Amino acid sequence: MGGPSSEREISLKSGNAAFEALKNAGYDAVAMDAVGNIEEKILSEGISVAFIALHGRFGEDGAIQSILEKMGIPYTGSGPEASAKALDKEASRRIFKNNGIFVPNCTILYRNYSVDKFIDDVALKFPLVVKPACEGSSIGLSIVDNKKDLASAIAQAFHYDEKVLVEEYIPGKEITVGILEDKPLPVIQIVPKNKYYDFHAKYTKGMTEYVVPAKIDEKEYKAAQKAGLDAHLVLGCSGFSRVDMIIDQGHRPVVLEVNTIPGLTETSLLPKAAAACGINFTQLCEKLIGLAYEKNKVLEKEV
């Protein structure tokens, strides 16, 4: 948990919640902050399985997974390649589009691109969503209503990444679908008190209502679960993930991103969805460890 990413504080909350749950369930668990020489820390603890609660870079880009694979230690969640594809919104969206999964129209900006030229020529309609390509938790994200505010939003996103997405804002119902053991969990509807579901709405108590199961019609519900599972599978994810999307005004699920290590506190969205199926937080943590061992057995057979 923890680690060097911009989502460090959120990761520490996830890690501590999982650590306490596993410890209370009788596991010989150790909490490890993934900074400094992590290989040395892992070796010194002599762990038999790694429960990864690292959000963002180093945790969701495949880096820690590659280290653990090299060390021969089973770990929770997706492998290095699927993790890297999911964190990079440009790469994942290309895969989604090629597989018939709806995604927002967007333009990718690189640091050497002329922002002024882009703003002069921008073809997408306002409002626009501006965000770093490889960050989560709405970090560096802005929603802009006019050209005047676009330059500062792009500059803010470039503060976190070398690559920035400028995409159409899709009005509709904001939802998320958790995936567990390659099956979709109940759909959660996200209802922010403010106009947009941004970082403030996400992490300020009382600023957002979460409805489980989502109050959407049956056709939309099934389509959302299918889109969530399809997005998880086409990236090659395993174990669990959470897929964020919007049901647009044409009743279609539009996929925004796949989180390979979503929030893992008792009040986070994946645990909420699991709880709606009768799986409490401790049982969820135990299940993820069981899946880590199962995946490891499959990998050993393949080798």
Q: Which of 56, 136, 244, 268 is catalytic?
A: 244
Q: Residue 238: name the closest of 89, 80, 34 by CA.
A: 80
Tokens 């060097």 found at: 4
Beta strand pairing call for 208-211 and 183-192: antiparallel
Token duo for residue 27: 């596991």
Among this protein's residues, is 203 annotated catalytic?
A: yes
Among this protein's residues, is 162 annotated catalytic?
A: no
Across the beta sheet with 253-259, the strand order is 208-211, 183-192, 172-180, 240-248, 253-259
Q: Residue 133: name the closest of 100, 167, 170, 177 by CA.
A: 167
Q: Which of 203, 248, 290, 296 is catalytic?
A: 203
Among this protein's residues, is 228 annotated catalytic?
A: no
Give the span between the Cα atoms of 106 and 165, in whole angstroms: 6
Beta strand pairing call for 240-248 and 172-180: antiparallel
First to last CA, the chain: 29
Percentages (nearest 5) of helix, strand, coil residues in the chain: 40, 20, 40
Question: Is the Cα torsion angle 300, 301, 302, 303 positive or negative in sign?
Answer: positive
Q: Which of 11, 78, 259, 268 is catalytic?
A: 259
Q: Which of 14, 137, 142, 268 is catalytic?
A: 137
What single-letter amino acid sits at 118? F
Among this protein's residues, is 263 annotated catalytic?
A: yes
Alpha helices in the chain (DSSP H): 8-24, 38-45, 63-71, 80-87, 89-98, 115-121, 150-158, 199-203, 218-234, 269-275, 281-302
Q: Which of 3, 5, 7, 77 is catalytic?
A: 7
Q: Which of 79, 138, 263, 268 is catalytic?
A: 263
Q: Which of 60, 88, 230, 257 is catalytic?
A: 257
Among this protein's residues, is 8 annotated catalytic?
A: no
Q: What's the burial of 91, exposed, middle or buried (CB within 10 Å: 0-12/13-18/19+)? A: middle
Rg of the Cα atoms in the chain: 19
Among this protein's residues, is 242 annotated catalytic?
A: yes
Q: Which of 59, 142, 242, 268 is catalytic?
A: 242
Residues catalogued as catalytic: 7, 137, 203, 242, 244, 257, 259, 263
